[in-house]
A and B are shown apart, each in its own frame.
Chain A
Amino acid sequence: MDLFANLYLGFSVALSFENLSFALLGAFIGTAIGVLPGIGPVATISLLLPITFGMSATTAIIMLAGIYYGAQYGGSTTSILLNLPGEVSSVVTTLEGYKMARKGRAGAALTIAAVGSFFAGTISTLLVAASGPLLTSVALSFGPADYFSLMLLGLIISAVLAQGSIVKAIAMVVLGVALGLVGTDVQTGQQRFTFGVPELSDGIGFVAVAMGMFGIAEIILNLERPESRSVLTNKVDSLWLTREEFKRSIAPVLRGTAIGSTLGILPGGGASLAAFGSYMMESKVSKFRHEFGTGAIEGVAGPEAANNAAAQTSFIPLLTLGIPANAVMALMVGALIIQGIQPGPRMVEAQPDLFWGLIASMWVGNLMLLVINLPMIGMWVKLLEVPYRHLYPAILIFCAIGVYSLNNNVFDVYLTMLFGLFGYLCSKLKLEGAPMLIGFVLGPMMEEHLRRAMLLSRGDPMVFIQRPISATLLAIGAIALITMLLPALRKKKEAALAEG
C-alpha cells in the first residue's frame, strides 16, 4: 500500500544518523526550555533559526519540530509541579496535575502525561500520514461563521462545566473576553482599551496573564500559609502508576486523542481548544468526575493526550496548505521559505522526503521524549523537595526572564506581577482562573470571526444558521445550555413546591 511505502520512505529519512541526532537535540532543547517557565518555543526557535540555514531543509525542520514537542512536554512538567503554565494548552494540566502533585502523586501525573502524550502522538502521526491531504478539505470548509459558532460553543461549555458558582464562572469568562479585546482592532486598526499605553497596543500577552494568574498567585498563596508548605515535602510515592490509575487513564487518553486530532486540524485556535475540550469532556463523562478539582488523573491524562495530538495534527494545515496555525508554525514556514521551499499542497509531491521524513520524525521525536523524560521524572519530582525559600525566588526569576524574552519588554514583567496579585485576589474570592483564560483566548478570535462573517454577509445574521456546520454547533451549544439549566430549574420548582 502507498501509505506504507511512504512511511518507509519517511522512516528511512528520519532514522538517518544526522536526522536522528538533530531530533534528539531538538527534543532535548525543547524539554529544557519547556521546563524553564515562560521561555517558550517561539523565542528558542527564532534564536536557532540562523543555525538551520546551513542544514538541509529536512534536518532543520526535524530539529525545530523536536523543540516544539519538547517544549509542550516540558511545559506540562512545570504545570504539574509548580502550577506554572507556559502555554495555553498546559493551563488545563495545572487544574488536576498540580492537585495531584500536592497529594504526593506528582510522579504519576508526570508519567501519565508522558505516556498519554506518546500514545496520542502515535495515533495522530498515523492520522496525519493516512489522511493529511484529505483532512485539509475539512479544515477549509470552516468559514468565519462556523468558527464563531465553534468558539461560542467552547465558551458555553466552559461556563457550564466550571466548578462552583455558575454566575462567578460566567463573570470570569466575560472578564477574560474583555481583557482579550485590549489592543488594536483587527477590523479598523483602532486602539481599544489601551489608555494610551503603547505597550498595550498589541494586546495583553497570554503568558503574562497565565503565569500571573496561576504561578505567581500560587506562590503568594503559599507564602501566606506556612503550614501548607509541608504538603509537598510529603514523601513522594512511586513514580509509576498504580493499576487503578492506569485503568482510569485509558478511556480519557483515547477520548483526548480523538478530540485533539480533530480540533488540531483547524487552522488557528484549534490546538488551544483541544486541551480545554478534553478536560471539559472528562469532567462530564468520567466515572470519577466527583474527584475533579481534587487531583483526578483523568484531568491530566485526557488533556495531555489531546494537546499532543493537536500539536501533531496542527502540522496538517501547515504542510498541506502552507498556513501556519500559530507562532511556532509561522517560524517553521519561515525556516522552510529560507530554504526555498514553500509549504503547501504541492509539497507532498515536490518534497516527498521532507514531508514523510517529518511525519516519521514526529513519531521518533515522541518516542525520544518518552525516553528522555521517563528517567528524568524522578529528578523533576526531587525539585519539589527543594526548600521554598530557595525554590520561589528561583521561580520568580525564571518567570521574569521568560516573560521578558517574549517581546524583550519590561512592561510584560510588570503585567505578570499585576496578574499575580489579581490571581491571588481571585482565589480569595473563590473565582476560578481557568474560565477567564478561556475567555481571554477565545474571546478575541470569536469577535474577529463574528465581525468577518457579518462583513461578508453584509450584516445578515442568518448566515450563522444557514451554514450547516455553524447551525449544528449552535444547536449543540443550545442543548448544552438547556441540559445545564434544566436541573437547576427543576430544583427551583421542587423548592417552590416544597414551600407551597
Chain B
Amino acid sequence: MPEVVHRRALIAGAAAAVALPSLSRAQAWPSGAVRLVVPFAPGGSTDLAARLVADGLAQRLGVPVVVENRPGAGATTGSQMVADAAPDGQTLVMSNIASHAISPALYGNRVRYDAVRSFTHIAMVITNPSVWVVNPRSEIANLADLVRIAKTRRGGLDMASSGAGSSNHLLLVRFSDLAGIEHTHVPFRGAGPAMTAVIAAQVPMMSDSLPSAAGHIRQGSVRAIAMSSAERHPAFPDVPTFREQGFDLVSTSWFALSGPAGMPAPIVERLHRETMAVIATPEARQRFAEMGGSPGDMTSAQFSAFVASEVERWAPVVRASGATAD
C-alpha cells in the first residue's frame, strides 16, 4: 500500500512539476540578461544571424540578450561552454553546421560534448545553400565543363574554400568523389580572401556559402554555376542545382538556437515561439532574403532530429576528406 501512495505522490509531484513551475518558472524566466554565445569571432555569418536574433529576442523578452563571442577550435570552445552551463534558459548558443555537425567529427575525442544529447535544440533560425562560383571570364559555364577541365590537369582543378574542414571544403570532397575527378583543395582563412582569389583569377572556382557570395554574384564579379539546394533558390532562379546537372548532392548550412541539455519545456516553448516570431517579421524576412538564406521552420523536436541526421551525414565525409584536427 505505501508503495501505491508513494507512486501516486510521485505522479502528483511530477504533474505538479510540469504544471505549477511551468507557470511560476515561466514568469521567473528570464531573470536578467540572457547570454547568447556565438562560437565564432564577430563579423561572420553566425555572428550576424545571432545579432539579428538577439536584437529581436531582447525586445520580445524584455531583457537584454547579450551576444558573447567565444571563438576557437572549430566553434567547439563556445559550444562546450554552453553544454556545461546551467539549463536555466539564461545561457544559449548559436549552434551551426560547424559546431554541431562537422567539428565533432573533425576534432574527435577532444570534443567532450555530444552534439545531440548535451544540448536542448530550440529553434532553427536560418538555412542557406552553398553556391559554386567561377571568375566571370572563366570558360567553366557549368559542372560538366568543370569536370572536363579538371581531367586535363595534373592534380585536377584548383578548388578554393573558406578553410580545411569547412562545410564548403567537404562539399568539394563529396563532389569530386561523385564525379570521379581529382581536385587540389586551396584553403583560405575565411571566405573573403578566397573570393578575392576567384575575382583575381588566381584560383578558377570556389565553393562558398550563399550569404557571403550573394552580393558578389549580383554584382557580376563572379558567376554562379551550381547551387547546393534541393530546388532552385528563389533569389537566384537562374542558377541550376547540382541535381539538375546530374550530381545528386544537397548541402545546406544552418544557424540555430540551442541551450544546455535539460532545459524546462516551458522555456523551450517560449524561446521557440519568440524566435519564430522574430524571424517572421518582414524586416528579418527581407534581410534573410538579401543574404540568400531561408528562415527556419522546424519544431524543436524536428530540429533535434535534424541535428542527429547531420552528425551522421558529415562524419564519413570528414574522414574521406583527410582533414583532421585530432
Contact = CB atoms under 8 A, between A and B. Distances in A.
Instruction: Indicate whether A and B interact.
Output: yes
Interface in A294-324: 317, 321-324
B195 A189 contact: no
A334 B68 CA distance: 16
Given A199-B72, A344-B221, A187 B214 contact: no
Contact of A342 (B47, B216, B287): B216
B215 A456 contact: no
Contacts of B48: 334, 337-338
Given A186-B164, A323-B196, A407 B47 contact: no
- Top 10 nearest A-B pairs (CB, nearest first) are A342-B215, A46-B42, A330-B43, A189-B164, A346-B219, A140-B200, A201-B73, A331-B43, A189-B323, A189-B165
Contact of A186 (B71, B188, B211): B188
A163 interface: no
A408 B165 CA distance: 25
B90 interface: no
A314 B323 CA distance: 33
Contact of B192 (A202, A324, A331, A338): A324
Contacts of A409: 70, 72
Contacts of A345: 219-221
Interface of A: 42-43, 45-46, 49-50, 53, 140-144, 184-191, 196, 198-199, 201-202, 267-268, 317, 321-324, 327, 330-331, 333-334, 337-338, 340, 342-346, 407-409, 448, 452, 455-456, 458
A268 B287 CA distance: 28
27 contacts: A49-B42, A50-B55, A50-B67, A140-B196, A143-B200, A144-B202, A186-B164, A188-B164, A188-B324, A198-B77, A201-B72, A267-B193, A327-B42, A330-B43, A334-B44, A340-B287, A340-B290, A342-B218, A342-B219, A345-B219, A345-B221, A346-B220, A408-B69, A409-B70, A455-B186, A456-B186, A456-B203
A70 B200 CA distance: 33
Contacts of A323: 192-193, 195-196
Interface residues of B, number: 58
Given A198-B77, A198-B110, A268-B193, A327 B325 contact: no
B286 interface: yes
A199 B211 CA distance: 29
Interface in B21-40: none
A327 B41 contact: yes
A424 B54 CA distance: 44
B51 interface: yes
Given A331-B42, A340-B290, 9 more contacts: A50-B54, A140-B200, A189-B324, A189-B325, A201-B73, A334-B42, A342-B219, A346-B218, A456-B186
B230 to A, nearest CB: 25
Contacts of A455: 158, 184, 186
A428 to B, nearest CB: 33
B323 A334 contact: no
Contacts of A346: 218-220
B86 interface: no
A407 B43 contact: no
B187 interface: yes
Contact of B43 (A141, A191, A317, A324): A324
A330 B193 contact: no
B221 A338 contact: no
Nearest to B286: A340
Contacts of B164: 185-189
B178 interface: no
A201 B78 CA distance: 13
B6 interface: no
Which of A142, A327, A337 has its CB near the most chain B CB atoms (within 10 A)? Answer: A337
A324 B47 CA distance: 16
Contacts of A42: 42
Nearest to A452: B186
Contacts of A49: 42, 51
A190 to B, nearest CB: 7
Contacts of B190: 330
Interface in B256-299: 286-287, 290-291
B187 to A, nearest CB: 6
A321 B73 CA distance: 29
B286 A190 contact: no
A311 to B, nearest CB: 17
Nearest to B81: A408
B155 interface: yes
A452 B211 CA distance: 25
B106 interface: yes
Nearest to B48: A334
A343 to B, nearest CB: 7
B196 A184 contact: no
Given A184-B325, A267-B193, A344 B43 contact: no
A198 B192 CA distance: 26
A344 B73 contact: no
A333 B216 CA distance: 13
From B54, B202, B291, name the one whose CB has the most chain A CB atoms within 10 angstroms: B202
B199 interface: yes
A458 B52 CA distance: 43
Given A186-B163, A456-B186, A330 B192 contact: yes
Interface string B144-187: 00000000001100100001110000000000000000001011
Given A186-B187, A458-B155, A407 B218 contact: no
Contacts of B184: 455-456, 458
Contact of B158 (A198, A268, A321, A456): A456
A452 B286 CA distance: 38
A143 B195 CA distance: 13
Nearest to B283: A53
A322 B215 contact: yes
Nearest to B203: A456
A187 B43 contact: no
Most chain B CB atoms below 10 A, which of A49, A141, A185: A49
Contacts of B192: 267, 322-324, 330, 333
B221 A456 contact: no
Contacts of A202: 71-73
Contacts of A45: 42
B43 A334 contact: yes
A337 B215 contact: yes
Contact of B216 (A196, A330, A344, A452): A344
Contacts of A344: 215-216, 219, 221
A407 B41 CA distance: 8
A377 B250 CA distance: 60
Given A201-B72, A201-B73, A321 B189 contact: no
Contacts of A188: 164, 322-324
B215 A448 contact: no
A215 B112 CA distance: 37
Contacts of A333: 43, 192
Contact of B199 (A144, A321, A456): A321
Contacts of A190: 324-325
Contacts of A43: 42
Given A344-B219, A408-B69, A46 B47 contact: yes
